[in-house]
Amino acid sequence: MLKTITILTILTLIYGLDIDFEPVNVWKYFQQLSGTPRPSYYHHKVVSFLKNYVDANNFTVRQDRIGNLAIEIPSTVKRDKIPKVCLQAHYDMVAEKNDDKEFDFEHDAIELIRDGEWIRANMTTLGADDGIGVAVALAVATDKNSRHGPLELVFTKGTTLTHSNMS
């Protein structure tokens, strides 16, 4: 029988991350991110959202010339000897809507709908392919039950990191 191993399980086994958080924080950040316009090539609002997160949590951030962000998260108590772990996701989304839907991806919030056990958007793309990756990283970094070594959250402008001077 095959067992599914999540990336958080791997991080726990290899790097000693002790991730024990309620998914409510993931959904909180995903909802906030969904309320922030972030179609491809229109990034200033989501970058501002992420920088406000950094400021609110007293983290540090670097931004390269093309808009990628690297957020430094200090280790929790007694975890400073653990190697740094990088959590990466892209912060933009594909902007598609049904033909009969009035929607401006540069200004409107994605309308989230709970449909049983599923979350979907109201006649637009959901932006969950890596929006959930951003939300998980933000939740791990700020959850009070999480114990971890230093983290670097890397949020890229698109699905791939291109010609960056982040290092």
Model confidence at 50: pLDDT above 90: yes
> Which one, of 66, 63, 95, 39, lies nearest residue 163 by Cα?
66
For 36, the 3-state DSSP assignment is coil
Decide if 67 contacts 46 (C-beta within 8 A): no
Residue 43 gets which letter from DSSP?
-
Amino acid at 20: D
pLDDT band per the 50, 70, 90 thresholds, residue 123: very high
Give me the residue spans of the domains in the chain.
Answer: 7-156
Find the range with the poorest average confidence among 6-10, 44-48, 54-58, 151-155.
6-10
Residue 97 gets which letter from DSSP?
B
To 5 degrees, how large is the angle CA 77–CA 86–CA 143? 45
Helix axes 44-56, 24-34, angle to 10 degrees: 140
Find the range with the poorest average confidence among 18-22, 41-45, 109-113, 117-121.
18-22
What value does the mean pLDDT take over residues 77-104? 90
Amino acid at 151: L
Task: Output the pLDDT for position 124.
Answer: 95
- Output the CA–CA distances (angstroms, integers) from residue 53 to 137, 146, 167, in the order listed: 12, 17, 22
Find the range with the poorest average confidence among 93-107, 116-130, 149-163.
149-163
Q: Say whether pTM exceeds 0.85.
A: no
Q: What's domain 7-156's superfamily in CATH?
A: Zn peptidases (3.40.630.10)
Task: Output the pLDDT for position 161.
Answer: 45
Top pLDDT among 1 and 66 is at 66
Task: Output the pLDDT for position 117.
Answer: 83
